[in-house]
Structure formats: structure tokens, C-alpha cells
Amino acid sequence: MGKRYVNADGSSNLKSFSDLRKWQKERRGKKKDLSYRVARVEPDAELLAANREKPTVTFVGHSTFLVQLGGLNIVTDPVWASRMGFSPRLSPPGVPIGSLPPIDVVVLSHAHYDHLHLGSLRRLPGDFVALVPEGLGPWFRRKGFRQVRELTWWSETRIGDVTFGFVPAKHWTRRTPWDTNASHWGGWVMRHGEDCLYFAGDSGYAGVFREIGARYGDIRVALIPIGAYEPEWFMRDSHMSPEEAVQTFADVGADIFVPMHYDAFRLADDTPKEALDRLLAEWERRGLPPERLWAMELGRTKTWSADEARFE
């Protein structure tokens, strides 16, 4: 058996079969309205194709974004799959994969299927470099990808004028019954000059976010998951609630909060509307300025500058 990875607190987040049965029994007793669809707009394909100067973030869906930073086209956790297991996708991707500009970099948070989809990787345009957690490089190379860099927590690499830092998260991973936690998981901090974006990946709430905020003290935009949290007694170690996501935003000290991981796949019992409603309620309860929350429509592109993104 090869190396097995754990969280910063030593946990592996593995659940017992009895816990799984308890959750499934609870789920059968719930009635959920799945009719809500996250709003969408027509993507600005011309801007995305031409832009090499402005920092932008475009919401594709789930944990997939197109980030443009330092002249690079970067995709996070590329998943254009129409279904996850037996469940169909709730909302189509906000940007068709054929409408993307050539991709320079792919950043992967971990190996779960809703974050790492081989079919999507193979369809991405461009000769990209894949930045992956430690332990995941061999999988990529076996699949024919040659430009692969593995990073450990708190390590960095540079592509062009952009620095990529791999930072901790509280999660776990598995693709087969035999490879549980055989690779690591985490988030990514991407920096170009004064422009700094944080992609949290997939995570339960943990004290490590305060450390990320301390090490990267000028994060402009933070992409943070808010979904797949119900039932919280089962999901808490791996997925944060909307309220915990707002606390994560506070911990890392970012200027702008972009919610993710709530719109595309039914991974738990919560719904997209429930996740957004709880997020907005917590935002208002804390008295946070509405302009600092970008609850983006699918396909929407947002841009910022260092001056515009700074809030006191």
C-alpha cells in the first residue's frame, strides 16, 4: 500500500457503513423541491477570447471556473459532465467547452469525480499544464497528460508571471475502492502582482483557513463552496455549510466572495435554493456589504482591479 494522506488535524474523514445507512434512511424521509435553477447569462465569448490583460473570473458551474490572470487562461476542476453517477446535472454548464479560449493551466483540488472528469480534461482546448495535488501526478501521466506538476501543501510553482500556491483543505478522496486518500486535496492561491485569487476546492470548515489568510494577506477574490452540507452530522467533516463558508471568507480576509459547489449536482440533501438562501441570510445577519458578494449567474464574467476590489 502506498502513501495515504490525512487532514491537518490527522483525520481521514472516512465514514462507517452504519453512518451511510443512517443517512440514506433519513434521505428517504425528505421531500425536496429540485425545480429551482440557478440563473444564467450568455457568456461573453469575444471578451474571453481576446482578454490577456484584465483579471476575470467566469462561472461555468459547480467548482469549474475560467480564471484569466496575468495573461493566462486557467480552469479550475474542469467538469462538463452531463451527469454524476446516476444523477443528471441540474443545470448545464454556463460556458460550452467548445467556446473556451485555449487553456494554459488547469488546477485540480482533488480526485473526486465531480472535480476531476477525464472526458472534460481531454476536450479542453490548448496545451495546458496540469497542477495537481501530491499523489495525483501518476494518474495524469497514465492518461497521457505530459505537462503535470505535483504540489504539496504550502508549496508554490510559477507559470509565466503567475504564482500558484497549493494550500490545505479539510476533505478526502477516492476514485476506486482501492485508492482511498492515495492522493492529497487542497485549494489554490493564484497571484499576479497585486491581483490574488483563492480557489478553496472542496472542504469542511477548519482552522487552517485563518492560516491561509495570514500567509496570503491580500486575497482579492475567494471562490468558496457552499453546498453538499446536509445532513450536517454526516457532511460536516468534508463540506461546509453556507454559514461556515462566510466564516471561511472572513478567515482568509478576502475582498469578494464567490459561492460555488451548489448548483450542478445533487451530492447531498440540500438544494441550490436552500444553499443560496442560507448564504444570503448569513450575509445580511453579519451586515456585510452586498457588493462584496458575487453570487454569479452561470456564464457570467466578472473583472476587478486591485483598487476596486479593496474594501476596508
Do the domain assignments include residue 215?
Answer: yes
The model's confidence at residue 94, banded by pLDDT at 50, 70 and 90, is: very high
Q: Is the pLDDT of residue 13 over 70?
A: yes
- At residue 283, what are phi and psi to the nearest 5 degrees? -60, -45
Average pLDDT, the chain: 95
Say if 19 falls within a structural domain: no
Domain count, the chain: 1
23: in domain: no
Residues 24-49 pLDDT 10s: 999 888 999 989 999 999 999 999 99
Residue 150: φ, ψ to 5° = -95, 135
Q: What is the 3-state secondary structure (H, E, C) of 198-213?
A: EECCCCECCCHHHHHH
77-91, pLDDT tens digit by residue? 999 999 998 889 999
Q: Listing from the earlier edge strand, what are the strands of the sheet with 129-133?
A: 148-151, 129-133, 105-107, 72-76, 64-69, 56-61, 301-303
121-180 pLDDT per residue, tens: 999 999 999 999 999 999 999 999 999 999 999 999 999 999 999 999 999 999 999 999
2: pLDDT strictly greater than 90 = no
> Does the pLDDT value for residue 311 go beyond 50?
no
Handedness of CA 302, 264, 81, 146 (dihedral sign): positive
Residue from 305, 260, 309 nearest 289 by CA: 309
Q: What's the pLDDT score for residue 308?
A: 57
Residue 31 lies in a domain: no
Task: Write down the pLDDT at residue 306.
Answer: 59
State phi, psi for 84 to the nearest 5 degrees. Answer: -125, 105
Per-residue pLDDT of 176-228, as tens digits, reads 999 999 999 999 999 999 999 999 999 999 999 999 999 998 999 999 999 99
Nearest 5°: the CA angle 273, 114, 11 is: 95
| Domain of 94, in residue numbers | 42-174+181-307
Q: How far apart are CA 19 and CA 86, in angstroms?
A: 21
- How many angstroms separate the CA atoms of 248 and 206, rounded? 8
- Cell numbers 486535496: residue: 185
Asked if residue 148 belongs to a domain, the reply is yes
> What is the mean pLDDT of the segment spanning 287-311?
85
Whether the CB-CB separation of 309 and 221 falls below 8 Å is answered with yes
C-alpha–C-alpha distance, residues 197 and 154, integer Å: 15
16 in a structural domain: no
**Within a 10 A sphere around the Cβ of 58, how many other Cβ atoms?**
24
Q: What is the mean pLDDT of residues 252-264?
A: 97
pLDDT at residue 270 is higher than 80: yes
CATH assignment of the domain containing 296 = 3.60.15.10
Using CB atoms within 10 Å of the CB of residue 220, give its burial: 0 to 12 exposed, 13 to 18 middle, 19+ buried.
buried
What is the predicted pLDDT for the residue at 132? 98
Q: Is 32 within the bounds of a domain?
A: no
Burial of 217 (C-beta count, 10 Å sphere; 0-12/13-18/19+): exposed
Q: Is residue 17 part of a domain?
A: no
Mean pLDDT, rounded, for 268-297: 97
